[in-house]
Structure 1
């Protein structure tokens, strides 16, 4: 029985089909390898720092210089709190400082006078001490002469009397000098009171300065529901300020892709509002972990699912990407973007 031979035409078509399949397989491998080396994700969004703007001092808002969704510059006045009560506190603190300073100046003048008097009394002690020394020396010199009859008894008694008098004068001078030293008042307590008053003054000056609230950075005012006349309290936000000086992207990559991602890698970002305009950025950091869906404790007990998932889906981890000179008109927190690793 003879075997039928395939026509040459069919053999050529089969060969072409095989080559096409091989080419598609090779192309698929190349594409998969490229996607692994340069992954991309559509699970990403724009982000920026936000400041829940709350005043540091309380009071009624005297004037509100911005409106909702307005762009503001660093140092621009946002709102002003009624400064009248803080001005009174500042004046009171300044008056207290001035009063204590005057008391210190007067006290220093008195102290100088008291020190001069104490120095004079110390000089009197030195003089009395010198007179006592001289009287004792005279008495000691006359005593042997009196025994030998060269000096009268009256002369020796006078010398001894002079010694007793010099001792009494020295004691009086020492007591006066001690009293003069004790009379010298220290200005240390007043200086301590002045330091405390100056601290109160600086606090009053700071509170007065903080009644004018300025923008700490370039930003966009949002979520404003307050008007002039509202009472503002420390820690209670008046509105939110979006920091417009730096923007980044939070891109969620699969855990199988993290091995090829490194800080400093170049990235291209495409905002969904304008997908034909690439925005350049670099990887800043990779997140260290996320909360798993399973295995977490709930009320102190482990949480275990009732069913098993036979298909395991790779977990995604946030990657922080800093943008370089992004177009301001496209920057909105939460906007959807596509991220592609470019190197």
Structure 2
């Protein structure tokens, strides 16, 4: 058994000596050599070179020319736009503005007629509505009667004054007569006194002349009092005259007020414009101050809310171009009328209070009023319509 195993090992050793050494890298080397060998099938073919940019441009010369032209036009347009746009300030926060107001009745009553309709244009002085006039006509007639009565009172007092002046003249004449009689009585009394002293006259005569003198003195005093009383009566009558004149003035004022109230029954347009939101109708009972319609005057403008950084060079009188969103085909020109001295938030109902809490800076808007040279007449333009103004500031 041992001899057989020894024989087998001897055979393997002899086999190993007879075989050449094994090279593990031989397959890789053969594959590399195979790759390095030239391919006789493709030896005559050379790789094609890509065309250059110049050749491609030369091949497509029409497209190249067109592209160059478009590029040049774009550059020129961009430069021109930049040079022109930097001279203008524009905003889309702009609207048509007007001082619209409510047309209300000045007096109360039933509406007897409405002479306009919705969105109708009217001229200055046009009658818009009519209120029943019967009550106001009666009030006017009553005021007229009071005026006539006051005038009659004045005429009566004037006649009394004229009569009293005659009585004053009569009292003065009587006073003059009494003064003359008093003078004569004084002279008589003086002569009687001298005669008594000389013994040529009687005491009885002296007493009679003294009595006459006292009577004339009393008569003279009464006459002077009559003149004073008659003169004072004229003052009383003149005071009554002034009172009557005041009554006349009051009656005339009431008449004027009654005529005004009568005129207020006819509601007219204070200026040219359009009637909107008509609420009054025939037969409606309205009170004083009740609105019947809204009114938009023809005097309208543009209020543009520019950023505060855009109004640096903006001044009144600068030209502006305006485009209306509703009518983009209409070209409208105008000019800056004024720049509001303050931002819009300052004059709002609830202005911002930046002195409390945290603060975040926000660019404010400043309203700018732009007046239009000529509004289009073939379209309807009113407050609230959006516009885009462009103001030339440089």
TM-score (norm: length of structure 1): 0.81
Q: Distance in 1 between matches of 2:274 and 2:312?
A: 37
1:322 aligns with 2:375: no
1:106 aligns with 2:156: yes
Of the three residues 89, 99, 117, the one matched with 1:49 is 99
Of the three residues 273, 277, 286, the one matched with 2:326 is 273
Q: Does structure 2 conserve the Cα–Cα contact (< 8 Å) formed by 1:295 and 1:302?
A: no
Q: Distance in 2 between matches of 1:295 and 1:226?
A: 37
> Cα distance, 1:141 vs. partner?
5.3
Of the three residues 162, 166, 171, the one matched with 1:121 is 171
1:206 corresponding residue in structure 2? 260
Q: Does structure 1 conserve the Cα–Cα contact (< 8 Å) formed by 2:330 and 2:376?
A: no
Q: Distance in 1 between matches of 2:196 and 2:343?
A: 111
1:239 aligns with 2:293: yes
Residue 142 of structure 2: SS of its match in structure 1? helix
Residue 57 of structure 1: SS of its match in structure 2? coil
Q: Distance in 2 between matches of 1:137 and 1:39?
A: 113
2:284 corresponding residue in structure 1? 230
Q: Distance in 1 between matches of 2:258 and 2:202?
A: 83
1:218 corresponding residue in structure 2? 272
CA 1:260/1:71 → structure 2, altered by over 3 Å: closer, same or farther?
A: same
Moved more, 95-104 or 283-292: 283-292
> Cα distance, 1:77 vs. partner?
0.5
1:159 aligns with 2:209: yes
Deviations 1:217-240 (A, max 9, x none): 111100112211111222221110
Poorly superposed stretches of 4+, deviation over 6 Å: 292-295
> Cα distance, 1:100 vs. partner?
1.9
Moved more, 206-215 or 224-233: 224-233
Moved more, 274-283 or 259-268: 274-283
Residue 260 of structure 2: SS of its match in structure 1? helix
TM-score (norm: length of structure 2): 0.72
Q: Distance in 2 between matches of 1:194 and 1:139?
A: 58
Gaps of 5+ in 1: 1-6, 10-19
CA 1:304/1:63 → structure 2, altered by over 3 Å: closer, same or farther?
A: farther
Of the three residues 288, 302, 327, the one matched with 1:249 is 302
Larger Rg: 2
Q: RCO (CA 8 Å, sep 6+): is it higher in 1 or 2? A: 1
Residue 370 of structure 2: SS of its match in structure 1? strand
Q: Distance in 1 between matches of 2:310 and 2:320?
A: 14
Moved more, 129-138 or 324-333: 129-138
Residue 296 of structure 1: SS of its match in structure 2? coil
* Count of residue pairs brought into register by the alignment: 317
1:296 aligns with 2:296: no
Q: Does structure 2 conserve the Cα–Cα contact (< 8 Å) formed by 1:296 and 1:302?
A: no
Matched ranges for 1:15-34 at <5 A: 34=84
CA 1:43/1:151 → structure 2, altered by over 3 Å: closer, same or farther?
A: same
Q: Distance in 1 between matches of 2:187 and 2:315?
A: 98
Q: Does structure 2 conserve the Cα–Cα contact (< 8 Å) formed by 1:296 and 1:303?
A: no
Q: Does structure 1 conserve the Cα–Cα contact (< 8 Å) formed by 2:110 and 2:285?
A: yes
CA 1:295/1:119 → structure 2, altered by over 3 Å: closer, same or farther?
A: closer
